[in-house]
Amino acid sequence: MHKLFTSEDVISFAYNEMPADEAVEFCAELNGCPEMASELETINEVRIMMDATSLVPQAGVVQAILNYSRSLKIQKETFFGAPLEVVLN
């Protein structure tokens, strides 16, 4: 039976997440479909660019988050007889 591959399948193949038997069928289909080959090439190019990108927070952002976290206080209360922890700033 001939399987109709979707863009989601192309992405699964590009990230090596496709089962081996399905990947063999995909490769056979890929050889006869220039549109799907082009889509795979585009996905691989984007994946390479994304892997090369490093995300670093702006200076001081991590410190600001840590400072905010340190300023919080947890207060234990009882609410209708049940213990409750309240976060206060």
Per-residue pLDDT of the chain (89 residues; tens, 9 = 90+): 567 889 999 999 999 999 999 999 999 999 889 999 999 999 999 999 988 887 888 889 999 999 888 888 888 888 888 888 887 77
Q: pLDDT at position 2, please?
A: 64
Q: 73: burial class by Cβ within 10 Å (0-12, 13-18, 19+)?
A: exposed
- Classified as helix, coil or strand, 67 is helix
Q: pLDDT at position 19, please?
A: 94
Flag whether the pTM goes above 0.75.
no
In-domain check, residue 2: no
40 and 68 within one domain: no
83 and 48 within one domain: no
In-domain check, residue 70: yes
Alpha-carbon span 60 to 48, nearest angstrom: 29
75 and 48 within one domain: no
Q: pLDDT at position 1, please?
A: 53
89 and 63 within one domain: yes
**Domain limits for position 79:** 56-89
Q: What is the radius of gyration, based on Cα positions, of the chain?
A: 25
